[in-house]
Structure 1
Amino acid sequence: MHPPTEHVHHPERRATWTELFFDVVYVVAIARLAHELKEDPTLPGAAAFAGLFVPVWWSWIGVTVYADRFDADDAADRLLLALQMLGVAALAVQIHDGAGTHAPGLALAYCGLRLLLILLYARAWRHIPQARPLAARYMVGFSLALLPWLASVFVPSPLRFCLWAAGIVIDLLTPLASRPQQRALPLSPAHLPERFGLFTLIVLGESVAAVVGGVTGQHWAAGSVLTAVLSFAYAFAMGWLYFDKKHATVHPKRRSAQVWVYTHLFLMMGLTASGAGVELLIASPPGEPVSAAARWLFCAATASGFAAFAVILRAMACSTGGRPGRDLRPGMLLGAAGTMLLLGHCGEALPPYVLTGSAGALAALPLVAHPSRGRTLGAGV
């Protein structure tokens, strides 16, 4: 074994094959989340989806950020990563009715994932003296966050969800309270954006799978086919928009870097939920009005994605010391978010292809109006 013995800042570091293999299990978890939302596109179902998405996403963030700083890709790291994969698989199994009968099992699976992450940081603390201040803070913060999740196994709802919320808040605040320690251990400006891009591909892949799943078994009516094609155009435009800005700069020592990281949660949720909405829109009977649940799910999800990406663009502009007002895209995306919410409110009579076509056009508009220029990106958590 070759344990980590020092933190080395590698500006051009790339994801390892082990990390790419680790992402595979999240394909299953994201698919399970989208499926559950499609089965229950009501407001309580959307709330359950959001509540379950956060621990799935945060478990990925934890391992990704650790690997960026300390991954030795040795036998011990790979074995601990394999255990993390088993934990995520267990989490995915519990997603079905994860806010109901399977809630205790889901909480235990998440506790196991956090415990494994604490063990990884304990390994870094042992082998890398310069990492001890940051590793110690993370171990304390993540251990405190684990306690409410563990306690939730033994209490009924809704108190259980209050404990989940408390644990997540502690988890999210721990990196924010550790900024001085992070400065001594900068993240790679190449590795972290690459990892976020790969997770975005997983989510966009779920949207494409939703298009295929929606068309499968349907009669090839012109309206359904057009809805599917325009849904794909929306997913493609969002991918183009995201990866066009994948190389924009975020200074890792500025607070806007963490805004960039945390806002990705809402972008990923929006893209995943829009995929579930797409499948419902494609399945809408031809000639009949779209159900309010399907319409609101798609419109609210796309609005969330547009608004989140507007914040991400603004964070990148502020981080580089540029003049955010000169970039029209954040404003255009916020306008797109408002337009989709308006369609959700007033679009009872609209056919599904108008909804998906509107989303695709609004996503493509910033690309046409303001072509991007590639630069280098980095962030910090």
Structure 2
Amino acid sequence: MADATRSALLRPLTSRSPDEPHRAATPLELFFDLCFVVAVAQAAAELHHAVAENHVGHGVFGFLTVFFAIWWAWVNFSWFASAYDNDDVAYRLTTLVQIAGALILAAGVPRAFADDDWKLITLGYVVMRLAMVTQWLRVRHDDPPRRATATRFAVGILLVQVGWVLRLLLPPEWGLPSFLVLVVCELLVPLWAERGRPTRWHPHHIAERYSLFTLIVLGESVLAATVAIEAASGTGYTSALIWLAGAGLVIVFAMWWLYFDRSAHDLLTSFATAFRWGYGHYFILASAAAVGAGLAVVADYDTRSAHMSGVVAAYAVAVPVAVYLLSLWLLQVCPHHRGLVVYAFPVTVVLVLLAPFTPAPIQVIAVLLAALVSVVVLAGAGRGRSPAPEH
């Protein structure tokens, strides 16, 4: 009995097989994603308010920096879990600490946007990252073949966290350069640590983890836009808001369709391609979250509560949609497709960026994305396969 209890509390954190059959996301991973999306929602809400007040540069910078903290902590947890999740009590409690860090970060988002105060966000981020250090120290102890890899991860993460804390002491004019330097350092840690004896992540599991988080972020965009349209409606829904709601739904649904056209697991054939694909998802996920904020801005404009021109309001949707399509094209479309589909994506990006100059820009973007989905579906039919995702 004592041995069984000890085994449940603390099992060796050794590498899982990358060929493990039927590897799927765990309930803990799904709960982790749902808690993290709270921080995503906070960042998107602040982006909405900043752009609606015509503080576009401040809002975009704040959103991209906050989203990096959320995304990078999520990425590190997901790849680590793919290689080492043993689901013991210690692992679960460490994940709880990471979730707590995400919620602390979310609580600090309004203060960062309003007062340029990054203390609470930094605290939440450091809490999440130090929890990963403890996980890597466990791997260092329990997985001798990858002891050097785990040591490099632990040391690299710890040193960069010291940098984030010291950044709070710098004068404001050093804020952007120091942020960019530390971001580069964060991104280089896995590249440095994985030299020699790399970790053994599961391609199907990683592809599913990214797809599920993309799905949740798209759902958050739908929620953000719905709440904004409801708030803007006041005593009743105008025709402009009804058209906006319909077009917004088509846009987000098309984004979902295009991403899930087929699974990406067969792209993850090497560390080089996996790193490129995984890092590139920053742009897919950030733009997916920003679309909801953009639709909320357009709802404010349609009800005369936004302080900007109609063109600027429309670009709040057009730019993230264009970034999403371009990122998806580079990461998943070009490696999978040939012919018309490969050209349809960049053409659609250009047309989306021109749409704000039309009389009904959001509706035009919706039509363009629906047309792009049609091209993808026809291309899939031509290859003799269903457009349904291969999950």
CA contact 2:101–2:123 (8 Å) conserved in 1: no
Which of the numbers 132, 139, 155 marks the counterpart of 2:147? 132
Change (3 A) 1:286 1:6: closer
Residue aligning to 1:354 = 363
CA contact 1:251–1:257 (8 Å) conserved in 2: yes
Residue aligning to 1:320 = none
Pairwise mapping of residues 135-174 of structure 1 onto structure 2 (< 5 A)? 135-174=150-189
The gaps in structure 1 that reach 5 residues or longer are 318-323
Distance in 1 between the 2:389 and 2:37 partners? 29
Residue aligning to 1:196 = 210
Amino acid at match of 2:214: T
* TM-score in terms of structure 2 length: 0.86
Amino acid at match of 2:246: V
The gaps in structure 2 that reach 5 residues or longer are 1-8
Distance in 1 between the 2:237 and 2:117 partners? 38
Amino acid at match of 1:370: A
Distance in 2 between the 1:102 and 1:296 partners? 28
Please state if 1:69 is matched with 2:83: yes
Q: Secondary structure at the match of 1:97?
A: helix
Please state if 1:83 is matched with 2:114: no
Q: Secondary structure at the match of 2:348?
A: helix
CA contact 1:14–1:194 (8 Å) conserved in 2: yes
CA contact 1:249–1:375 (8 Å) conserved in 2: no
Residue aligning to 1:38 = 48
Aligned residues: 366
Deviation at 1:178, TM superposition (A): 4.0
Amino acid at match of 2:14: E
Deviation at 1:120, TM superposition (A): 0.7
Residue aligning to 1:297 = 316
Amino acid at match of 2:201: L
Amino acid at match of 2:287: G
Residue aligning to 1:221 = 238
Deviation digits for residues 233-265 of structure 1, max 9, x if unmatched? 111111111112225511332522221111111
Residue aligning to 2:26 = 16
Distance in 1 between the 2:245 and 2:22 partners? 39
CA contact 1:249–1:376 (8 Å) conserved in 2: no
Pairwise mapping of residues 179-194 of structure 1 onto structure 2 (< 5 A)? 179-181=194-196, 183=198, 185-194=199-208
Distance in 1 between the 2:118 and 2:22 partners? 41
Residue aligning to 2:5 = none
Change (3 A) 1:154 1:224: same
Please state if 1:7 is matched with 2:15: yes
Residue aligning to 1:105 = 120
Change (3 A) 1:144 1:335: farther
Distance in 1 between the 2:36 and 2:268 partners? 28
Distance in 1 between the 2:66 and 2:191 partners? 22
CA contact 1:54–1:265 (8 Å) conserved in 2: yes
CA contact 1:208–1:232 (8 Å) conserved in 2: yes
Q: Secondary structure at the match of 1:25?
A: helix
Residue aligning to 1:368 = 377
Residue aligning to 1:321 = none
Deviation at 1:307, TM superposition (A): 0.4
Deviation at 1:369, TM superposition (A): 3.7
Deviation digits for residues 299-330 of structure 1, max 9, x if unmatched? 1111100100001125644xxxxxx6x25434
Please state if 1:284 is matched with 2:289: no
Percent identical residues = 27
CA contact 1:231–1:360 (8 Å) conserved in 2: no
Distance in 1 between the 2:28 and 2:351 partners? 42
CA contact 1:4–1:70 (8 Å) conserved in 2: no
Distance in 2 between the 1:315 and 1:174 partners? 28
CA contact 2:206–2:265 (8 Å) conserved in 1: no
CA contact 2:228–2:299 (8 Å) conserved in 1: yes
CA contact 1:230–1:357 (8 Å) conserved in 2: yes
Distance in 2 between the 1:335 and 1:178 partners? 39
Deviation at 1:159, TM superposition (A): 1.4
Distance in 1 between the 2:162 and 2:368 partners? 42
Please state if 1:54 is matched with 2:64: no
Distance in 2 between the 1:56 and 1:256 partners? 23
Change (3 A) 1:315 1:71: farther
Larger displacement relative to structure 2 (51-60 or 279-288): 279-288
Distance in 2 between the 1:76 and 1:171 partners? 25
Change (3 A) 1:116 1:179: closer
Residue aligning to 2:346 = 334
